[in-house]
Structure 1
Amino acid sequence: MHPNGQTPANLILASSSQYRLRLLNQIGLNPICIAPEIDETAHPHEHAITIATRLSEEKARAVAVNQSNALIIAGDQVCDVNGVILGKPGNAGRAKQQLEHCSGQEVIFHTGLCVFNTATNTMHRHTEKVLVHFRHLSDREIDSYIKKEPAFDCAGSFKMEGLGISLFSSIRSDDPNSLIGLPLIKLCEFLRLEGLAII
């Protein structure tokens, strides 16, 4: 129970991402999924961590407009390669360009998290950083990966929970789940604060 006695009736994931939903299912949660309608364009000279933090909050607020008694979970991820921001590639050509750009580089992934209790107007925010060092990838490896696992809807063009792990030499993070889409350790903490115990 929330400290003020109000526990929201609905648990909502402000996303259409199958990856984020799968992470929530993994910890026993079955939220309603509502895709937020927001402009995800970065502001001029906006840093990657700021984008991830801002957009996760904007997604939660966009869904909250029509939800007076809900606990809303929202996230956003930004991929930063030496100051260059990589979005979702959308097709094989762009995926190849992204993986060539990441080859041999340390890539920073910023994953924003926002948990918004609309019943109490309480908001929790956190942005997790994951450092991924990519191996030096040959053209053959890149082409083979794209053919076997076309991750066109993922920033950076890979799926860590699948074959994407073979592209890396190391990962540094307090919560590797962040690389898939949500920092689950921090999320569980926020849910406990809002009276929703996972165990």
Structure 2
Amino acid sequence: MTAYPWQRTRVKICGLTQPGDAEQAVALGADAIGLVFYPPSPRAVDIDRAQAVLAAVGPFVTVVGLFVNATGHEVDGVLSKVRIDLLQFHGDESPEYCASFRKPYVRALQMAPDIDLAAEFARFPDALALLLDAYHGDIRGGTGQAFDWQRAVAPPGRQLILAGGLNPDNVGQALEVARPYAVDVSSGVESAKGIKDAARIARFLTEVYDFDQRQRSR
């Protein structure tokens, strides 16, 4: 297999609650969309709303279901009624729990000052990637706050997804520093909580595209 000095950065738009927003995100080039099944979140959706959002999403777009310390019954209930391609766990879920649904998954981590990323990658060998988010105690994402991107280092052969405080103004710098496999944005492309702004999504994706183009030309 040929080794390339660059790769295309994948983009996930998370926290979608409106069918029109999902349609716009996909039309603008998002690789994945995220549905939040965590009732305390202002971006939470129930099964009916999730189905409505997904009616606007065609093939070749990854649908990610986000859960926080949900019971297995709750996750299975969603999986039985909603097209979910990839699970994303944002709570205190164990490796055994994450793997129990026999579906690809991503494990999110809050970048606490004392976190050992190498140990976390080893602890979740089945995870397709670790998603790194800013540390805010009990708040699980969507805060608009960033962390030190220089800490985002994956072991050889593993992938990381960068999240936390990304927006059209800083994603280019974040990519230069961390060089992640993918970026995940929610509040940074919103006009209000749970309501996406098509112009901000377009700007965000353009910044990612421009970064990738610079890598190709180097």
TM-score, length of structure 2 as denominator length: 0.28
Structure with bigger strand share is 1
Structure index of larger Rg: 1
